[in-house]
Amino acid sequence: MTKVRSTTVLAVIHNGEVAIGADGQATMGNYVAKSNVKKIRKLQDGKIVTGFAGSTADAFTLLERFDEKLNSFGGNMKRAAVELAKDWRTDRYLRKLEAMLITADKTEVLIVSGTGDVLEPDHDIAAVGSGAMYAQSAAYALKKHAAGLTAEDIVRESLNIAADICIYTNHNLVVEKVS
């Protein structure tokens, strides 16, 4: 799977709710270029929410292609993700894009990469980016031991923990729930 630095994106399914969030930091080399980038996008009238890590221009290209695939396949997220991954891996132009996507609907979360991966993560927790392992670990612990939390609470707290540890992740969070 492609190693993407410079952000953290996390999605969690918990107690019938789905939330996805990301920090807002954009880096260029070893400095912070912008601290409030919105890396979460709603598609299909909010029925599908995506987040991206990696090059912003590349991610926007992929989000546009993913939206086209969703429209082509009647909003079927898994089918659109598989078709995007196929194109991403085989198309000469797309193959050079450096980003990763997390996409979620009301029942599932997928990680989509440029190596052709479409993964359904374990424990209904998906994370990509430089702070992914910190956020994923925190989400797993919170989900397992904090019964009163919502999916949105788990995403926020986990991303804040990642931001405390990862230098490529900040505390300017955007979190969206899937409708």
Measured CA to CA in angstroms, residue 94 lies from 3, 30, 57, 121 at distances of 17, 26, 12, 24
Question: What is the residue range of 25's domain?
Answer: 8-177
pLDDT, position 93: 67
Instruction: Read off the pLDDT of residues 74-108 as tens digits, 9 standing for 90 and up.
Output: 999 999 999 998 888 777 766 677 778 999 999 99
Q: Can you give the pTM of this predicted structure?
A: 0.92
pLDDT, position 138: 98
Q: Which residues of the chain have pLDDT under 50?
A: 1-3
pLDDT, position 60: 84
Residue 1 lies in a domain: no
Query: CA angle 13-101-87, nearest 5°?
Result: 130
Residue 89 lies in a domain: yes
The enclosing domain of 86 has a CATH number of 3.60.20.10
Beta bridge partners of 54: 99
pLDDT, position 165: 96
pLDDT, position 89: 79
pLDDT, position 5: 56
Residue 2 lies in a domain: no
Please count the structural domains in the chain. Answer: 1
Residues designated catalytic = 7
Residue 169 lies in a domain: yes
pLDDT, position 1: 45
Host H or E run for residue 141: helix 132-145
Residue 3 lies in a domain: no
